[in-house]
Amino acid sequence: MSQQSGLQMQTITGVRGQFRDAGHLPDGSVPEVIGRSWQRCASRGLAMNRPARQDPLGLAALRRQRERNHDLLRLATPELDLLAHAMADARGVAILTDSRGLILDARGDDGFAGRARRVFLQPGACWSEEHEGTNAVGTALAEGGLVEVDGAEHYLDENRFLVCTAMPVFDPSGRIAGLFDLSADARRPQTHARTLIRLAVVNLEHRWAMQAAEADGADLLVRLHSHPSWLGTPHEGLLAFRDGRLTAANRIALGLLGVDASTIGETDWEALFDGAMTGEARLLHTRAGGVPMHLRVSRPAPAAPRRRPTPGPVAEAQAVTVRGGMVWDSGTDALLARAVRAADADIPVLLQGETGTGKEVFVRALHRRSSLADRPLVAVNCAAIPEGLLESELFGYEDGAFTGARRRGSTGRIRQAEGGILFLDEIGDMPLGLQARLLRVLQDGEVLPLGAGKPVKVDFRLVAATHQDLKTAVAEGRFRSDLYYRLNHLSVTLTPLRDRRPLDGIVDAVFAATGAATRAIRLSDEARRRLIGHGWPGNLRELANLLRTLVALADDGAVIEAEDLPEDIRAEAKPNPANPTNPMAGAEAPAQPSQASLVTPAVSASPGPASLRALTDEAVFRALAGTGGNISAAARVLGIHRATLHRRLKASG
Ligand SMILES: Nc1ncnc2c1ncn2[C@@H]1O[C@H](COP(=O)(O)OP(=O)(O)OP(=O)(O)O)[C@@H](O)[C@H]1O
């Protein structure tokens, strides 16, 4: 996304005026795609100054729409999770809509989500051009491709505070099935939205085409590209045939063949290729355009074989479930059920656990399952906000409360959580002075914004989390005992990964949640044993990051071997499922364990320069998403200099 400079802003404001008053749009004054959209809006009689007007669906109706788009929602979850993670830090939201622009899911920064709701950028609202004029969602659907709408390029005056990038998702029959959108405040630079969204769409469409080939009983799967080293990456073309007839394709394949979606279900091999359907790897010419294409032909991967049950009680082996891409062992599931009951009964929940055990994931699941699912969840990481800012961030301030305050004051995060859940992460890091103020809010049910004369009533449920041992912090005088007792009504401690059971089931489920099976990627028995025997000082974060990266970097059909694992996991002498002697067990985890070594397979396994580019894109996407879009952190994860990463993003953005 580009951020409009002050000058551009003035110019476009002038252009808006001319267009509104005289219907005149000077050549080159706005991007062509924006100009076309403004013309469409004007011809529908839409006025630029029309106030936000929407009638978002209620919960039951929205649920029905979500059920109707069940395949899209299920398949898009991993990408939406990653995009939401990136947007949480970029202070924006990631959105998934249906094919008409109805918002099915919106996640990311809660503060921005609150502002977005004021213009109905929220689940249940429809952002087609008919409803909202020029906007990334509606305009990308109208144009059928990636569209960015920045600030005053929005048609309605009210939407000018937004900068949005959107791209439609095509299903394997070539129809628009939905769309990803990244929206944020137009004043914040969002430099990598285009790259993130493109990679998300390419990944999703590739996975969808693979699944469709399997589900439709295709007897032939064809991967194609003009350059052979792109084969086996999400950037390859995919075609599925049954009895010689084309039954599914991804958008890349249609583009490479120079045909449109109407050929799916209608055309056969001979109409597409200038050569017979024989052999496994071939170079054939396309009928349309005669371009030479490298093909890899295979039978679609059969459903992944079930593992033989591992020793141990059957009930344990079944006690791992995957929901929304997250993995729940029955022990943690039972803790979640208790925490939901407590939150529903307005009992504060205190969540403790080592770093990476999934505390934040737990709280988001708690919110979704609780009776407050349609109310706000406002998350504040007390360790991430500088001490001097935390007070105003939490409690808000009145107009002109202090120098530098935004003119119109700020409600503060506590009041934003009104009617919902306030999640105070890393509460052990809250300075003592603020602990006293927070205690007062909890006791009195009212908050006094900075510079305000009188307090404001508040009503919210509290969930607090920390990786510190709060009892010790109290004993050492770093945490107020009265606040500790106030928070600690229901205390939930998330078990470190090394002590969770069944650990083999968790490793298998986290691996399955990466979507490995749809690309026929397997773990060798030795690699799996090593993973089960590792001490996992970084807990679920370390396991999930490692498996996602290994799968992203592997070729389709590959077997991930023990040699592909990072040095510290490979080097562990005696794999042992319970791993009680692991020297790292119980130690404070490093901030980003093993991550420098994660990228090794990307380089060593890459088959060629073009393919390396695709794999790098994938690794960059994962690293950015995994670090909330933070360039420096992503560069560290990838083991490259941040300037190199900037350059790479510019090149692909
Ligand atoms: N139940 C789960 N299933 C699969 N992956 C998970 C699960 N919980 C956590 N993860 C992975 O671990 C990462 C970190 O989770 P989360 O941020 O919730 O941990 P945390 O305990 O809050 O960590 P910290 O204390 O460092 O803030 C997630 O982004 C996800 O990749």
- 3-state DSSP assignment of residue 31: coil
For the ranges 378-387, 412-421, 439-448, the lowest mean pLDDT is seen at 378-387
Q: Is pLDDT above 70 for 307?
A: no
Shared domain check, 625 and 571: yes
Distance 517 CA to ligand 1 centre (A): 23
Which residues have CB under 8 Å from 204's CB, separation 6+? 75, 76, 79, 169
Question: What is the mean pLDDT of the segment spanning 265-292?
Answer: 75
For the ranges 103-117, 171-185, 612-626, the lowest mean pLDDT is seen at 612-626
> Where does the pLDDT of residue 640 fall: very low under 50, low under 70, confident under 90, or very high at 90 and above?
low
Shared domain check, 174 and 70: yes
Shared domain check, 232 and 111: no
Nearest CA to ligand 1 atom 7: 358
> Where does the pLDDT of residue 214 fall: very low under 50, low under 70, confident under 90, or very high at 90 and above?
confident
Shared domain check, 392 and 361: yes
Shared domain check, 334 and 248: no
Last residue of a domain, one of 268, 298, 328: 298
Q: Is pLDDT above 90 for 179?
A: yes
User: Ligand 1, from 360, 380, 511: best to mutate by most atoms within 8 Å of Cβ?
Assistant: 360
Identify which has the larger pLDDT, 288 or 468. 468
Domains identified in the chain, total number: 4
Atom in ligand 1 nearest the alpha carbon of residue 353: 21
Shared domain check, 172 and 89: yes
Last residue of a domain, one of 196, 228, 252: 196
Mean pLDDT over each residue of the chain, to the nearest integer:
82
Residue 230 lies in a domain: yes
The HSE-up count of residue 364 (CA atoms within 13 Å, CB side) is 18
Last residue of a domain, one of 134, 165, 196: 196
Distance 540 CA to ligand 1 centre (A): 6
> Where does the pLDDT of residue 4 fall: very low under 50, low under 70, confident under 90, or very high at 90 and above?
low
Distance 541 CA to ligand 1 centre (A): 5
User: Ligand 1, from 507, 540, 543, 547: best to mutate by most atoms within 8 Å of Cβ?
Assistant: 540
Distance 542 CA to ligand 1 centre (A): 9
The whole domain housing 377 covers: 320-493
Residue 374 lies in a domain: yes
CATH code of the domain containing 187: 3.30.450.40
Shared domain check, 467 and 393: yes
Residue 273 lies in a domain: yes
Residue 180 lies in a domain: yes
User: Nearest CA to 401 among 433, 434, 441, 449?
Assistant: 449
Question: What is the mean pLDDT of the segment spanning 173-199?
Answer: 90
> Where does the pLDDT of residue 280 fall: very low under 50, low under 70, confident under 90, or very high at 90 and above?
low
Shared domain check, 293 and 342: no
Shared domain check, 293 and 235: yes
Q: For the segment 329-380, what is each residue's pLDDT rounded down to a tens digit?
A: 988 988 998 899 888 888 899 999 998 899 999 999 999 888 888 889 999 9
Shared domain check, 631 and 570: yes
Residue 55 lies in a domain: yes
Shared domain check, 179 and 223: no
- 3-state DSSP assignment of residue 575: coil
User: Ligand 1, from 79, 82, 361: best to mutate by most atoms within 8 Å of Cβ?
Assistant: 361
Residue 510 lies in a domain: no
Identify which has the larger pLDDT, 371 or 645. 371
Q: Hey, which residues does 237 pair with through a beta bridge?
A: 224
Atom in ligand 1 nearest the alpha carbon of residue 381: 27
Question: What is the mean pLDDT of the segment spanning 605-609?
Answer: 32
Which residues have CB under 8 Å from 458's CB, separation 6+? 414, 415, 417, 418, 441, 445, 446, 447
Nearest CA to ligand 1 atom 15: 358
Sign of CA dihedral 557, 561, 564, 569: positive
Residue 506 lies in a domain: no
pTM of this structure: 0.49
Residue 231 lies in a domain: yes
Binding pocket residue ranges, ligand 1, CB within 6 Å: 326-328, 353, 355-361, 467, 510, 540-541, 544
CA geometry: angle 365, 366, 372, nearest 5 deg: 115
Question: What is the mean pLDDT of the segment spanning 570-586?
Answer: 42
Q: Is pLDDT above 60 for 318?
A: no
Q: Is the ipTM reported for this complex over the cut 0.95?
A: yes
Shared domain check, 111 and 62: yes
